[in-house]
Structures are given as C-alpha cells and as structure tokens.
Amino acid sequence: MNPYDALPKTPANHVALSPVAFLERAGDVHPQLVAVIHGPQRWTWVQTRARARRLATALAARGIGRGDTVAVMLSNTPQMLEAHFAVPATGGVLLALNTRLDAAAIAFQLAHGEAKLLLTDTEFAPVIAAAIAQLDRPPVVIDVDDPHGPGGTRLAAVEYEALLAEGRDDVPLAGPADEWDAIALSYTSGTTGNPKGVVTHHRGAYLNAVGNAVTLAMPHFPVYLWSLPMFHCNGWCFPWTLALMAGTSVCLRRVEARAMLDAIRAHRVTHYCGAPIVHRMLIDAPDAWKAGIEHRVCATVAAASPPASMIEGMARMGFDLTHVYGLTEVYGPAAVCAKQPEWAALPLEEQVERNARQGVAYPLQDAMGVFDPATGAPVPRDGRTLGEIFFRGNIVMKGYLKNPQATAEAFAGGWYRTGDLAVQDADGYVKIRDRSKDIIISGGENISSIEIEETLWRHPDVSEVAVVAMPDPKWGETPCAFVALRPGAAVTESDLIAFCRARLAGYKTPKRIVFGELPKTSTGKIQKNLLRARVADAA
C-alpha cells in the first residue's frame, strides 16, 4: 500500500467548499464594516450575517431542505444578497428569476424547477400573479415590500421581515456535506426557445467567486455597485466574492446613468460590471453628472467586444475596462482578456484589437480552447482557422436539469461545448467570430431567435419567418425578423411588432420586420447568413 494513501480525509483536514463560508468569516473578522448600502439604510457584515441566518432558519422551519428549490423575483436589493447565502445554507437551490420575463416564461421555470417557495418584490406582483395562475402546484409566496421600491399589490399573508422574525440569528450558516451539491438553478433560452435549467454546484461557485477577486486584482474592502442584475448567473458570483473580500454592496434597483454616477461619487465605488450598453450610457452622460468622480473605477464588460470609442471613453472618465466572456453554464465569466503590460504602450487601435478578444481561461478554470467540433482536435493557433470554444474544469455546470440528452451533448468528448465559433491567436487568446446557434445578445441578455420565430408563426398571415441579430448602437444587437406573408395578407410591420410585444418580453420583441421572400438552399433551408449580411449592410 502506498504510505501516502494511509492518510485519509477527516473532518479536521477536509471540508466541502462552499461560498456560504465567506459570510460566516466576514461576520467574524469584519463585523462592523459596512456590507450593504440601500438608499439611506446600512447593514454591517455582522448584521447581514444575522439576517441571512434568520432567513435560513426560517426557511428550514418551513420545510426547505437539501434539493428544494427556492425562487426569488427580486431586484438588486439586500434581500437578494441575503438569499444567496441563506438558501444554499439550508441545502436548498436558489432560482433567481429574470425580472424582465413574461408570465408564461416564469410559470415554466417555477414548474420545471419545482419551486417550493417564492420570494417576490411587490413591484412584480402583476406578472407573478399571472404566472402563478398558470400553475397546478404553485409555490408558497412571501412578499418583499422594499421601502425604496415603487410598491405594489401584496400577494401573500407573510412579508419578508415577518419571515425573518420566524428565524434565529444564533445558528451558523452551514455548507453542504458534499460540495458537488447543487447551489443554484438558472435558466438559459439557449437556441431552441425551450429554456434549459443550468444547475451549478457549491464547489464551482466557491472557486469562481475567488476567481473574480484574483482576475480583477480586487483588494480587500472593495465598494461594488450593483448594475449587473443578480438574477444573471447569480450576479457572476459577485455576491459571494464581496463576502470573501469584505466589500460593500451598493444596491441599485434600476440602472440609470445619473443614479449610477451619483452612487459612484457618493460611495467612492471601486468596481461594477455590466453589458456594453451600461458603459456606453455612462460615457454618453452629461459631463455635469460625472463631475467630482476623481478616483479610479474598475469596470468589467461582457457580451459584445468593447469598441474603440468605449475604451477611449472609459479611459477619459478614469475607468479601467476589463473584457470577460462566459455563459450561464460556466457561472458567468470564465474567461478574461488578460491585459499584458506592454499593451499600454501600443496605439489605441492596437489596444482595442487586443482587448476585443474573449481571451484566456479564468485562473481557477482548468482550460479553455478552440477545437474542431467534429474531431475534438484543437485548431491551429493562427487567428484564422474556425472552431468551437470548449471549456473544462470546476467552473462548469453540473448539467441541465431533467435533460440528460442536452447534458450529454454539451459534455461530449470531456469538454463543455459552448456553441460559439472562434479562432485562437498565436498567443493563445480566443476571439469569437460567430455564434453558431444564432443567439442574439441584446444589452447583455441572451435571446433565442427560434422563440421569436415560433411567436411570429402563430400569426395567421405569416407564412415563413427567420430572425437574426441586427447591429444596434445602443443595445449591441436587437432582433430583426424577415417574414414572408401568405397570399393576400395586408398585415403591417407595426402590426407584427405589436403581436410579438403582446406575447414576448419587451427586449425579445423584434425592432424591425422585413417583408419578402426568404433565401433558401437547395434543400429548402433558410440561409440566415445572407440575412445577417443584409442587415449588416443596412446598418
């Protein structure tokens, strides 16, 4: 027997990794530092820990345990942060609902995820009420009546603060027995219009939370502005990162330029994340709104590559921009365009070219590369040969909930296959060239073209339809629908847009409808590449 094998794991030397532990430590080590700012309210780390403990014990008393789904329909508020620790501490799985979705999509996710309990802000009462009405087995509802929100109709007998009063603050938050246990469930539309439930685990959440701090060289006690929705990939794991670094969360219910700039100035915000539209909004804001911001701010951008004007505009404001890449299946960002020191001396155009790439794997992600999807072989690092981006490591999901076929396809060959087509440069940096599965990324939100197509097909006057991404100066991309009408139809562009708006979330509604015959291959397949070229030429 190998003598090293005679030393087994014991409770003294092996503990399951879980980001829940970060909050317990922050409460012990930095109890009086401010953890959360929400309007005039302030909570220290020991107070935040006490509130999370109360929530966890109250949920447990109501029967929430290992593998039970707890859904939340919340803005970027203290309650959302508390849920990111309390729900996993019960053994439960956190389902953070996209607050922009329509009732049908929410109902699907609640049913598919088998949510037992739902925390919902009263602002979203109308859409939640409509969603619950569609369910045979609705979850228990707890209202969150945020004093800094717009208010709304109460749906439940119990409000969040009353729920906390049911709990105890003397019971420490506990991690799982097995770090492979599910921590969160997030739905991504993928490319089919039928949402897939991405299941992530405690180990991956722990490691990516640490990876955020390492990647951004985040110091102790950062001040983080919540412009990125926490429902999006669990806020890219930053709720847990901030507990690790004993930082301060500045909550923001709505992303508006003046509110963001006022918060950055007032609280000396050091970090924030967002889609390109968020950064562009700040660049385009009046100079008077930016006055007084004289400290360095670290901004992180995902989705579309930052153009020269954005990098230059951020630099003028004193903001340092970092480009990251990822997907829900890899906890949000799992790659970064790691800046090399010598880039700073290059002309702006060359800096932009380098910074526009999706980059290299996160420090705690095992590997990222570009591979031939058919053979699984790596493509040459020549900046020209097209392949598919693959990830491998601990920062990859457990799989898709109740969908073994999709899980097997995603993990074929021992890698997670993203579906994004890219090239790899000689220095190993990856650059996306196309999205093989026709995802449209608008303002940082993934939109399924097929979901829009299926909606338009419901209109009696529509014969054929194809949806592609159309360049947009504000949102990066928006949906453009090409439609062939039935003979004799007289429907207009505004009619079809209104038809979609009544059935889809606003950001999924096509911004343009183009009528005419659709180009097809000899086998009858619509040639979306030609349609993309058409909208690109018209931009």
Which of residues 522 and 188 earns the better pLDDT score?
Answer: 188
Residues paired with residue 336 on neighbouring β-strands, in sequence order: 324, 360
Q: Print burial letters for 191-211: b (CB count within 10 Å at least 16), e (below 16).
A: beeebbbbbbbbbbbbbbbbb
Q: Say what the pLDDT of residue 364 is.
A: 96
Q: Say what the pLDDT of residue 435 is.
A: 61
Read off the pLDDT of residues 281-332 as tens digits, 9 standing for 90 and up: 899 899 999 999 999 999 999 866 676 667 888 888 999 999 999 999 999 9
Confidence (pTM): 0.84
Distance between CA atoms of 445 and 455, rounded to whole angstroms? 19
Distance between CA atoms of 207 and 230, rounded to whole angstroms? 18
Q: Is 487:460 a contact under the CB 8 Å cutoff?
A: no
- Strand spans (E) along 148-250: 182-188, 196-201, 223-225, 248-250
Read off the pLDDT of residues 183-213 as tens digits, 9 standing for 90 and up: 999 998 644 456 899 999 999 999 999 999 9
Q: Say what the pLDDT of residue 451 is.
A: 75
Tell me: pLDDT of 343 over 50: yes
Read off the pLDDT of residues 225-262 as tens digits, 9 standing for 90 and up: 999 999 999 999 999 999 999 999 999 999 999 999 99
What string of DSSP letters covers 30-54? Answer: STTSEEEEETTEEEEHHHHHHHHHH
Q: Say what the pLDDT of residue 192 is.
A: 43
Average pLDDT estimate for 433-449? 73
Distance between CA atoms of 370 and 385, rounded to whole angstroms? 9
Q: Say what the pLDDT of residue 190 is.
A: 46
Q: Which of 280-284, 429-433, 450-454, 479-483 has the lowest mean pLDDT?
A: 450-454
Among 176, 215, 212, 240, smallest CA distance to 25 is for 240
Q: Say what the pLDDT of residue 523 is.
A: 43
Distance between CA atoms of 487 and 414, rounded to whole angstroms? 50
Distance between CA atoms of 398 and 201, rounded to whole angstroms? 7
What string of DSSP letters covers 204-223? Answer: HHHHHHHHHHHHTTPPSS-E
**What is the edge-to-edge ordering of all strands in the sheet holding 512-515?**
462-472, 476-485, 512-515
